[in-house]
Amino acid sequence: MTPPEHQRQAYLRALGIDVWKTRDAADAEQPAESMTAGGLSWSELRACVANCTQCSLAASRNNTVFGVGNPDADWLIIGEAPGAEEDRRGEPFVGRAGKLLDEMLRAIGQSRDTVFIANILKCRPPNNRDPKSEEAAACRQYLDRQIELVQPKIILAVGRIAAQNLLASNEPVGRMRGRPHNLGGTPLVVTYHPAYLLRSPSQKNKSWSDLCLAARLAAERST
């Protein structure tokens, strides 16, 4: 699908490319602030995120963290926001929590290369504070487009921030996990963040049952 003209212009501006336009086109153009990611290709989306200044986190980030994995994945893993190491490396879920996520994925026959991993926010909130609602709202267009492009069979919301943002809920993870949810027609399962599991290893059995539920829902959509 070809993106609308105003979106193409905003994209080119984000890349620092001067855009010549007719008077009519200039009159019809919407301001950059209203740009949405709908209709962008993977490479266009990646470039938009890399150059994004739509919330204040752009000023303090070292790197945007776009997401990694298989663009045609059956599983889409969605976490919260980059931490210090993720911000430094530009990759989600690194460090001890990332290693535990890798183990969780391995347990269900998946890996970092077969799933796609993304976050609610593409930039690190200072001091690892929770994302602000306006930051999550500004960044949501990128995640929504990633979901559209991946078309996963199952979404795994990892941790409170991801689950509450995706499901527009204030419930704690303990009440959202253990049952199927729906996000725009895609089944979604909530589970604990691996960083929490490192602090509370007794909850690992619950996260295993969440993964089994997600695997079952994914399998049902494959038949």
**Site residues for ligand SF4, window 116-135 (CB under 6 A)?**
121-123, 135
The answer to whether residue 49 forms part of the interface with ligand SF4 (CB under 6 A) is: yes
Contacting range for ligand SF4; rule: CB under 6 A; set: 5-13, 105-113, 115-123, 195-203: 115-123
Judged by CB, which is closer to ligand SF4: 37, or 213?
Answer: 37
Contacting range for ligand SF4; rule: CB under 6 A; set: 1-9, 54-62, 67-75, 182-190: 54-62
Among 57, 166, 189, 195, which residue sits at the site for ligand SF4 (rule: CB under 6 A)? 57
Minimum CB–partner distance for residue 52 and ligand SF4 (Å): 3
The answer to whether residue 54 forms part of the interface with ligand SF4 (CB under 6 A) is: yes
Tokens of 9: 């212009």
Minimum CB–partner distance for residue 123 and ligand SF4 (Å): 3
The answer to whether residue 47 forms part of the interface with ligand SF4 (CB under 6 A) is: no
Check residue 63 and give left, alpha or beta (phi > 0: left; psi -120 to 50: alpha): beta
Amino acid at 16: G
Per-residue binding letters, 63-92, with ligand SF4 (x by CB under 6 A): -x----------------------------
Among 40, 97, 138, 161, which residue sits at the site for ligand SF4 (rule: CB under 6 A)? 138
Percent helix, strand, coil in the chain, to 5, is 50, 10, 40
Query: What is the C-alpha separation between 87 and 101, in angstroms, rounded?
Result: 18
Rounded to 10°, the helix 204-222/95-107 angle is 50
The answer to whether residue 32 forms part of the interface with ligand SF4 (CB under 6 A) is: no
Among 139, 158, 176, 215, which residue sits at the site for ligand SF4 (rule: CB under 6 A)? 139
Which residues, in sequence order, are CB contacts of 149 under 8 Å at separation 6+? 42, 45, 71
Query: What is the C-alpha separation between 176 and 210, in angstroms, rounded?
Result: 11
The answer to whether residue 146 forms part of the interface with ligand SF4 (CB under 6 A) is: no
Q: 3-state class of 103 per DSSP?
A: helix
Which residues, in sequence order, are CB contacts of 213 under 8 Å at separation 6+? 178, 179, 180, 189
Q: Residue 38 in contact with residue 30, Cβ under 8 Å?
A: no
Q: Residue 55 in contact with residue 139, Cβ under 8 Å?
A: yes
The answer to whether residue 145 forms part of the interface with ligand SF4 (CB under 6 A) is: no
The answer to whether residue 35 forms part of the interface with ligand SF4 (CB under 6 A) is: no
Tokens of 89: 């490396």
Residues near ligand SF4, by CB under 6 A? 49, 52-55, 57-58, 64, 121-123, 135, 138-139
